[in-house]
Structure 1
Amino acid sequence: MNLFQFILVGINYKKTEASTRGLFAINNQENSSLLKAAKEEGIEQLFVLSTCNRTEVYAVSDSIEKVFQILAKHTKGGIDLLKEKAYCKFSEEAVQHLFEVAAGIDSQILGDYEIIGQLKNSFKIAKQEKVVGTFLERLFNTVLQSSKSIKNNTNLSSGTTSISFAAIQYILDHITEPSSKVFMVIGTGKIGINTCKNINDYINPKELWVTNRTEEKAMSIANELNITVQPFKQINENIHKADVVIVATNSADYIVKKENIFPNKSRCFIDLSIPNNIDVSISTISQQTLINIDDLSKINDQTLALRKSNIPKALEIIAIHVNEFNEWHRLRKFAPVLKLLKTSLDTLNHQSTKASQSNSKEVNYIVNKVASELRTKQQPSCFYMQAVQDFIKQPNFN
């Protein structure tokens, strides 16, 4: 395939607010449906990344319009709004973007390493739907290697700056005596779990409750962290008792609604979801404070300054891995020649009256030598003919 066929269509926090991003967010089930539809439209390789920061489609396709239409069809924002707010990248630019996303360089909170788990989940869904070919497989594996190297060799992800910790930092900065408060976390995904852990570690509140539609998941987390499970069906009743309510779910609709909230006391609501899972109009109710992801991303501290200083080193590591991937892709076009060469030499060896194990080793040596020459000189037909002639001229060949 031509590298120019590699296309990215995306929407992220840089051009859109959380409410707009929510219109294009997709859950795992919707992700699978989109991939199936794309395959029916002739797009054989793609995956979709949907997080609180972005929704991005990475595809191998000859048609950018087809990618736009598929994403619009499976989200709520519509094609006109998508085209107005989206960005498109092709070829090397799309490859570079994916590497920077995986490193956390393009994250709303710089260096946020939670993106790796989200990328792995997206790619897992794509593999389950059989829309991952050799190109995407190699690209994704190289991206993971790059991200791991950056994690191990830089301070880009150092400290505790992440969406889940940003919520804790906000609470510590804005709520008086948070350790005397009752906290409720709704949702037991990765961000919800990390939030519960951070609340325990940094606040140690009077009470910490967790609730989830699937009570078994909530029980598992509660047992691990020694916190209290509250039944999901009693969510509104428990919100009235809580001082801080943190929502980290992936619902298509509001989990916390304005009509169920009464100003009987001061509360802080923190929405870590995309689309918004807390009714935005709650902020108009007396004594009720609502904070969302975009608000939290504005938090700046020494950790962020340290991470910024590590961007150049991270980009150097990315450049090494991007070059490695580009070299692999460039040599892929010679694969048919090398395969034909090996087949031809094996056939000659078998036809020779002196066919031997040493000749078989010579076959592999010559194929590897030609591959090396192709890396620099790129003349497959000339090297093919020369290799066959050199093999025939061997003393062992008759």
Structure 2
Amino acid sequence: MGLIALGINHKTASVQLREKVAFLPDTLTQALQAACDSTGVSELAILSTCNRTEFYGFGDNSQAVLSWLSQQRHLSLHELKSSVYVYEEQDALRHLMRVASGLDSMVLGEPQIFGQVKVAYQHAQQAGTLGQKLDRVFQQTFSAVKRVRTETAIGANPVSIGFAAVQLAKQIFSDFQQTKALLVGAGEMISLVAKHLKEQGVQQITIANRSLERAENLAQELGGAKVVLLSDLADVLSQADIVISCTGSQLPVIGKGMVERALKKRRYRPMAMIDIAVPRDIEPEVDDLDDVYLYTVDDLESTIEENRRARQQAAQQAEQLIEQCAAQFLHEQRAQAAQGLVTAYRQQADEFRVAELAKAQQALAQGANPHEILERLSRSLMNKLVHSPSVQLKQAAAHNEHEKLKWAAQLLGLNSKDN
């Protein structure tokens, strides 16, 4: 039984289908155990995120896993087959490494998927479906991801507007963690910005939004933030070192006059203002003011495009690294698989040795000539060791199996030109 990988992702299936086959964390243990019992797969892990659901395991029948999934989710096999991809052996290992490294993600090089792969590994451990072979596969994958992250620049450059906005603000302030941030809006983009700010250590965050409830929900997700109505924006603007705005307003919500008054209250301490809304939230004239660093989504897009190109170059290096890691691991696994055969062969040879030695010792005890005993011992041991290979070589020659003969010569350490 070999390594298999089977699944669907954002490239092969609609969000509606991905939702149907997704597994909630609290159902994974039961699902893993049920899948192993029903399919004959000896070891199994399930990776389930918003963009993919994938099965990794050891077995010889990926069709059984697919059938189990269709039954569990009440989906037709035809519907699943049109969206499912299946990989085996080195291709399966390479796919897992690419997924864990972010090379197969919607956002190239994103780091979150690595944590999700680790969670899948932990769930398999808890369910008792992670055996030695699959454990080695995951450990090798973790090692490959570490190399990709340390030896390439795949994750060095931000490629999302939200993250790029935070990174830009971080470059302006040397004491970034001590800054006060004002987020205008509470939609998806601002939610991502807020989380990036938190990850970068910014603790003082204020959220201004038309709907107080939506702002409070975001504040709760962050573990605490100040919340104000958008109508109170002028009152809190002077307290902000960083302003990042993204509302759905058709007209600017921050004007030049509002910023001038805020600067006066701040005694003209610098402000970074990043407008990622389209149409713009901040009047362009604000850029005329001293002590204000104003950036728009166009400024970020040019940076992001450069970073995308940089990530593409890094991705090529990462692909080469993964290819090396996958090939090396499978080479080691195949060599290890031969260890049992080597052990059995050595044991057989040792049994021959012990048997012949016992005969020799018995003959010596009976007073036989030592020279004759040694001659008989060596000849008998040689005959036993070469008997089986000799028979196989004669059969190969009789059937014109030239490749087998050539391989046998290499195996026996013989010079092929002598055969």
TM-score band (shorter)? Answer: 0.5 to 0.7
Q: Tell whether the 8 Å contact from 1:7 to 1:89 is kept in structure 2 after alignment.
A: yes
Paired residue type of 1:141 = Q
Q: Which whole-Å deviations, capped at 9, do the CAs of 1:77-120 have from their partners, x for residues lacking one?
A: 55332222222222322222112112211111000111111001
Deviates more, 1:145-154 or 1:342-351: 342-351
The residue number in structure 1 matching 2:182 is 179
Uncovered stretches (5+) of structure 1, i.e. residues with no partner: 170-177, 230-237, 244-264, 268-298, 354-376, 384-398
Instruction: Pick the aligned partner of 2:141 from 129, 143, 151.
Output: 143
CA RMSD of superposed structures (Å): 4.4
Map of 2:35 onto structure 1: 38
Gap change, CA 1:332 and 1:204, over 3 Å in 2:
same
Higher relative contact order (CA 8 A, sep 6+): 1
> What does 1:1-398 align with in structure 2 at a 5 Å threshold?
1=1, 3=2, 6-41=3-38, 42-75=40-73, 78-161=76-159, 165=163, 179=182, 181=184, 183=186, 194-195=195-196, 197=198, 204-206=205-207, 209=216, 222=223, 227-228=224-225, 301-340=305-344
> Kindly tell me: are residues 241 and 193 of structure 1, through their superposed partners in 2, closer, same or farther at Cα, counting changes over 3 Å?
closer
Paired with 2:193 and 2:64, the residues of 1 have a C-alpha distance of 35
Q: 1:22 to 1:164 in 2, by over 3 A?
A: farther
3-state DSSP class of the match of 2:12?
A: coil
Report the alpha carbon displacement of residue 148 of structure 1 after superposing the two structures with TM.
Answer: 0.4
Cα distance change of structure 1 residues 202 and 39 upon mapping to structure 2, 3 Å threshold: same
**2:5/2:56 contact within 8 Å kept:** yes
Aligned sequence identity (%): 24
**Of Structure 1 and Structure 2, which has the larger fraction of its residues in helix?**
2
Greater mean alpha carbon deviation, residues 299-308 or residues 130-139: 299-308
The answer to whether the 8 A contact 1:45-1:131 is kept is yes
Residues 45-100 of structure 1, C-alpha deviation per residue, up to 9 Å, x if partnerless?
11111112211112222222211022233446553322222222223222221121
**Secondary structure, counterpart of 1:179 in structure 2:** strand
Check whether the contact 2:96–2:141 (CA below 8 A) recurs between aligned residues: yes
Contact in 1 for aligned 2:164/2:304 (Cα 8 Å)? no
Using structure 2 for the length normalisation, give the TM-score: 0.54
Taking a change above 3 Å as real, the CA distance of residues 147 and 76 of structure 1, as seen in their structure-2 partners, is farther
User: 3-state DSSP class of the match of 2:60?
Assistant: coil
Cα distance, 1:346–1:205 mapped onto 2, change above 3 Å: farther
**Quick one: structure 1 residues 147 and 72, their matched pair in 2 at CA, closer, same or farther if it must change by over 3 Å?**
same
In structure 2, the residue corresponding to 1:96 is in which secondary structure?
helix
Aligned length: 275
Q: Is the 8 A contact 1:24 1:76 kept in 2?
A: no
Question: What secondary structure does 2:82 align onto?
Answer: helix
What is the Cα deviation at residue 308 of structure 1? 0.4
> Distance in 1 between the 2:161 and 2:50 partners?
9
Pair 350,119 (structure 1): closer, same or farther in 2 beyond 3 Å: farther
Shift of the 314–55 alpha-carbon distance from structure 1 to 2, 3 Å rule, reads same
